[in-house]
Chains A and B, each alone.
Chain A
Amino acid sequence: MNGVEGFMYPNEVGLQWSVLIVLYPFITGLVAGAFILASLERVFRVEAVKPTYRLALLTALSFLLVAPLPLQLHLGHPERSPEMYFTPHSTSAMAMFGYVYLWYLMAVLVLEIWLDYRRDIVMLYQSSKGLLRLVYGIMTLGSTNISERALAIDDKVGWIVTLIGIPSAFMLHGYVGFIFGSIKANPWWSSPLMPVVFIFSAMVSGIAGVMLLYMAATRLRGQKIDVHCVDTIAMYLFYIFIIDFSLEMLDLIHRIYEADESFRSLNFLVHTQLYIPHIVIQICLGTLTPIILLGITQVVKLNEIVRKRMYVVAGCLTLVGIFAMRWNVVIGGQLFSKSFLGYTTYKMTLVTREGLLVAVFLTLLPLVFLWVFVKLLPPWPEKAAEAAAAGD
């Protein structure tokens, strides 16, 4: 049989979860990571990252809106998905997650963005005309009160919402790891470390993603990149990446030391089919290289241009590495037989419902949403300053 080596049970030959299920944790990871970066400024008062605060929130929202689409496409029958909300089963982690998603979208992200932008929204409502005025008018919810006291209340409530948002972001992404980690029949997935590894890798990808978006957008707008800001983001990225890598290595070492009945089979897989995606792309290219690059920027005094270039390279490699991690978990976990006596292969299709083109489209779609949000609610610090000045 094509692509099958040794013994496979009949239901293992074709993979059930495709590239779209790889994309799903990658996208939710970016959401959670972007939100954690935003919380650095809001809750932990890291003022240096302020220029990315609003961009991080809009990025999180854009990616969160796209997050369910890979699942909808994979499962089919999107018209049935509301049934998960209407008749949830209390023992289903996936059903409960539907509520976590909705909570995170509406009670955390939308509310926080609305509170943070309310002053701008009112100013834009008063200065715009036509359809835009109507849009901003709806966004004000009919309240144009931007008195000092009202804004102070917004600030306090926003702080509380962000504080609640941090565990929510952890739940949002920890859930994906929880689902994989609880599949006891699959030794590649079944590990209590899985949710923790997913959360930290989410933070890494989200922080790298927002850093790259901030640098690219600032460059495109012809503005000067705030080097102190990207230095600080890179520093946090470096530290969190080290924790993430340590956890992944802890998991790996534990598997090697434990060497249970699945070890020989998994070891063979890592040295053959998964060698390029796991060892070369995920660990060497996507983890060690960015950690070394970021580490160099932390210990060696480099000039601004070199640092920025290193951040761009490290950021891109980080995203590649985290995507490879999702790939290796989702696809890698389906390549071996539960009999540990055979292996199958995954051949990605191109123009099908779960093919490469759809995956590329879904990866780019959040950037389109982000573009619309940025046009509607400019996140740039100087715009906020202008709005503040106009309000005073």
Chain B
Amino acid sequence: MSVFKDAGHLFRFAGLFVLAFLIFLVVRHYVVPKSFGQYGHYRGAAMGEIAAHPVKFSGHDACEACHSDVAEKKNAGKHAHVNCEACHGALARRLPAPAEPAPDMLQKLVALAIPRPVADPPVVRHADDPSSVVPERPDTAVLCARCHAASAAKPKGFPQVVIAEHSNGLPCETCHQPHSPAIDAGGAK
């Protein structure tokens, strides 16, 4: 019996491990979502949640129904295969969330500790309600550089320029019409 008495402290240490393991199991039970592992190594319910997201992109047909003049110009130029939404953003947008009074410090702390789900504002398509969702006018100095900034990794035949040397800070649309960018195809708009 004296062995157990003299090794009592080791049992206490082992007890700490057992306690930590039990706490781990309890926390795990509450923290791991119930649908985890349903289909694979992820939360099964995520599939339904993602599927429920409203579709925001509509394809070029939806734009061309009203903007046939732009489509005509675009289809005649080098950007014929660039989708409208690639530059102008998705046709549908969320309406801005209604303004709420700024939370005080206590409310911020409570929100951090107990996050509560916030209902997303509704999604509206520009094609359905042109006045409520207006696509932003893209800044060509940023937008064009995304594809046309020089990079050794791009194919040699792809038009690319060193921006600083090429435009000297001027927006690209000063010389190029974005819908049909070749200068001989229309030049400055």
**Docked CA distance A165–B134 (Å):** 65
B-facing residues in A67-86 (Cβ within 8 Å): 82, 85-86
**Docked CA distance A6–B151 (Å):** 10
B-facing residues in A115-166 (Cβ within 8 Å): 118, 140-143, 145, 147, 149-150, 153, 157
B binding-site residues for A, Cβ under 8 Å: 2-3, 5-10, 12-13, 16-17, 20, 24, 27-28, 31-32, 36-37, 41, 150-153
> Beyond A85-B24, A86-B31, A149-B2, is A157–B10 a contact (Cβ under 8 Å)?
yes
11 A-B pairs whose Cβ atoms sit less than 8 Å apart in the complex? A1-B151, A7-B152, A8-B152, A10-B151, A86-B32, A141-B9, A143-B12, A145-B8, A147-B6, A149-B6, A153-B6
Cβ distance A333 to chain B, nearest Cβ, rounded Å: 19
> Beyond A86-B31, A149-B2, A153-B6, is A142–B12 a contact (Cβ under 8 Å)?
yes
Cβ distance B17 to chain A, nearest Cβ, rounded Å: 7
**Docked CA distance A4–B162 (Å):** 14
> Beyond A86-B28, A87-B32, A87-B36, is A9–B6 a contact (Cβ under 8 Å)?
no
> A1-34 CB contact bits vs B (8 Å, 1 = yes)?
1001011111001000000000000000000000
Contact of A145 among B6, B32, B151 (CB under 8 A): B6
Question: Is A373 an interface residue when CB atoms closer than 8 A count as contact?
Answer: no
Residues of chain A within 8 A (CB-CB) of B151 are 1, 10, 13
Question: Is A106 an interface residue when CB atoms closer than 8 A count as contact?
Answer: yes
Cβ of A145 and Cβ of B9 under 8 Å apart?
Answer: yes
**Docked CA distance A86–B8 (Å):** 31
Cβ of B153 and Cβ of A8 under 8 Å apart?
Answer: yes
**Docked CA distance A89–B32 (Å):** 14
Number of CB contacts from chain A to chain B under 8 A: 57
Contact of B10 among A4, A9, A153 (CB under 8 A): A153
Closest to B27 in A: A86
Residues of chain B within 8 A (CB-CB) of A4 are 152
Question: Is A378 an interface residue when CB atoms closer than 8 A count as contact?
Answer: no
Cβ of A118 and Cβ of B41 under 8 Å apart?
Answer: no
**Docked CA distance A89–B12 (Å):** 32
Closest to B7 in A: A153
**Docked CA distance A51–B28 (Å):** 43
Question: Is A114 an interface residue when CB atoms closer than 8 A count as contact?
Answer: yes
Contact of B150 among A1, A13, A143 (CB under 8 A): A1
Question: Is A342 an interface residue when CB atoms closer than 8 A count as contact?
Answer: yes
B7, B9, B16, B151: most-surrounded residue (chain A CB, <10 A)? B9
Cβ of A150 and Cβ of B28 under 8 Å apart?
Answer: no
**Docked CA distance A111–B12 (Å):** 12
Q: What 6 pairs across the A-B complex have the smallest Cβ distances?
A: A143-B9, A150-B6, A141-B12, A149-B6, A10-B153, A86-B28
**Docked CA distance A336–B165 (Å):** 27
A binding-site residues for B, Cβ under 8 Å: 1, 4, 6-10, 13, 82, 85-87, 89, 106-107, 111, 114, 118, 140-143, 145, 147, 149-150, 153, 157, 342
B5, B36, B151, B153: most-surrounded residue (chain A CB, <10 A)? B153
Residues of chain A within 8 A (CB-CB) of B5 are 145
Cβ of B8 and Cβ of A143 under 8 Å apart?
Answer: yes
Which secondary structure characterizes the binding site on chain B? Answer: helix
Cβ distance B44 to chain A, nearest Cβ, rounded Å: 13
Cβ distance B85 to chain A, nearest Cβ, rounded Å: 22
Closest to A143 in B: B9
Cβ of B16 and Cβ of A141 under 8 Å apart?
Answer: yes
Cβ of B28 and Cβ of A9 under 8 Å apart?
Answer: no
Cβ of B9 and Cβ of A150 under 8 Å apart?
Answer: yes
Closest to B33 in A: A87
Closest to B152 in A: A7
Cβ of A89 and Cβ of B153 under 8 Å apart?
Answer: no
**Docked CA distance A63–B9 (Å):** 27
A9, A143, A149, A157: most-surrounded residue (chain B CB, <10 A)? A143
Cβ of B6 and Cβ of A141 under 8 Å apart?
Answer: no
Cβ of A6 and Cβ of B32 under 8 Å apart?
Answer: no
Residues of chain A within 8 A (CB-CB) of B153 are 7-10, 13
Having A13-B153, A150-B7, one finds 14 other A-B pairs with CB under 8 Å, namely A7-B152, A8-B152, A10-B153, A85-B24, A86-B31, A86-B32, A87-B37, A89-B41, A106-B17, A140-B9, A141-B9, A145-B5, A149-B6, A150-B9
Residues of chain B within 8 A (CB-CB) of A145 are 5-6, 8-9
Closest to B29 in A: A86
Closest to B32 in A: A86
Residues of chain A within 8 A (CB-CB) of B2 are 149
**Docked CA distance A4–B61 (Å):** 41
Residues of chain A within 8 A (CB-CB) of B7 are 150, 153
Cβ distance A160 to chain B, nearest Cβ, rounded Å: 11
Contact of B152 among A6, A107, A140, A147 (CB under 8 A): A6
Closest to B16 in A: A141
Closest to B36 in A: A87
Residues of chain B within 8 A (CB-CB) of A114 are 13
Residues of chain A within 8 A (CB-CB) of B37 are 87
Cβ distance A211 to chain B, nearest Cβ, rounded Å: 31
Residues of chain A within 8 A (CB-CB) of B9 are 118, 140-141, 143, 145, 150
**Docked CA distance A86–B17 (Å):** 17
Residues of chain A within 8 A (CB-CB) of B12 are 141-143
Closest to A147 in B: B6
**Docked CA distance A54–B48 (Å):** 56
Cβ distance B114 to chain A, nearest Cβ, rounded Å: 15
